[in-house]
Amino acid sequence: MTVLYRSLVRRGFIALSATATLALAACGGNDTTTADGSSASTASAGVVVSMATSSPSSSSSTSDGAGDSTHNDADIMFVQMMIPHHQGAVAMAQLAPDRASSQQVKDLAATIEAAQAPEIEQMTAWLQAWGVSTSTADMPSSTAAPSEGGMDHGGMDHGGMTMGKDGDMGSSTAMSMPGEMTDGQMQALQAATGTEFDRMFLQMMIEHHTGAIAMVQTELEQGSNPDALQLAESIKYSQTQEIATMQQLLQTL
């Protein structure tokens, strides 16, 4: 993970609980309930922002412990990659309240933060139960270099992820972090305001979610831990919905 990106993630993670609570309180007044039971927020543009954060069958995946302790290398890889990936999304989301002009973008950012912060804690607890390091120094880093266009992630391998022997995810392991933002992208997002921020945030978060879904697919195909598999299903469900919402929002900017 690049230096600025990791710095933003660490600062953002410290403020997760307080910020998530405030953000949810701020957007709670506009929520409605959709046909499938998910919550939604509407704004004057007429676009419905889906606030679903999990699949209907994912409620048991929110336990603090590891549940079934059975796990394999794919489970470890999934969790160790998803933790910093979630932290990156939270760091991006925490920029929205002061920079976004669209209330729908602010609401979506608050929803992303509120959903992913507890999942970070949950996955960290799993690693501890599995006897795997939770140090950020042992988390994977992106090997992708910043692209000239700022939004092109063609250098990232969204499907192929490798790991060291016995699940070792140390800094010497060569691997990609699908959808991770570069320093240049994060600096540009920090500097943007108004509609420019809205557009950039949506484009970057779509890419970030797309990377998460690629990681989830690998876990669903190769993982063995029931709780990790259930979380993977939940992430796939909620982030697929959020991608559709963000694509729709982009058309209104």
- Sequence-distant (≥ 6) Cβ neighbours of residue 15 within 8 angstroms: 94
**Which three-class secondary structure state does DSSP give residue 162?**
coil
- 149, with CB counted inside 10 A (0-12, 13-18, 19+), is exposed
Tell me the chain's radius of gyration from C-alpha atoms: 17
pLDDT of residue 67: 52
In this predicted model, what pLDDT tens digit does every residue of 213-252 receive, in sequence order? Answer: 999 999 999 999 999 999 999 999 999 999 999 999 999 9
For residues 42 and 29, the answer to whether their CB atoms sit within 8 Å is no
How far is the C-alpha of 40 from the C-alpha of 67, rounded, in Å? 31
Q: What is the mean pLDDT of residues 195-213?
A: 97
Q: Kindly tell me if the per-residue pLDDT of 208 is higher than 50.
A: yes
Domain ranges of the chain: 3-29+64-250
CATH superfamily entry for domain 3-29+64-250 = Ferritin, core subunit, four-helix bundle (1.20.1260.10)
Expressed in percent and rounded to 5, the helix, strand and coil fractions of the chain are 60, 5, 35
Q: Residue 62 is encoded by which pair of tokens?
A: 């929110």
How do residues 178-202 score in pLDDT, each as one tens digit? 788 888 999 999 999 999 999 999 9
Q: What is the pLDDT of residues 138-184, one digit of tens each?
A: 666 533 333 333 333 333 333 333 333 334 433 333 355 778 888 89
175 contacts: CB under 8 Å, gap ≥ 6 = 81, 140, 143, 161, 162, 163
Amino acid 235: pLDDT: 98
- Given a cut of 80, whether residue 34 has pLDDT beyond it is no
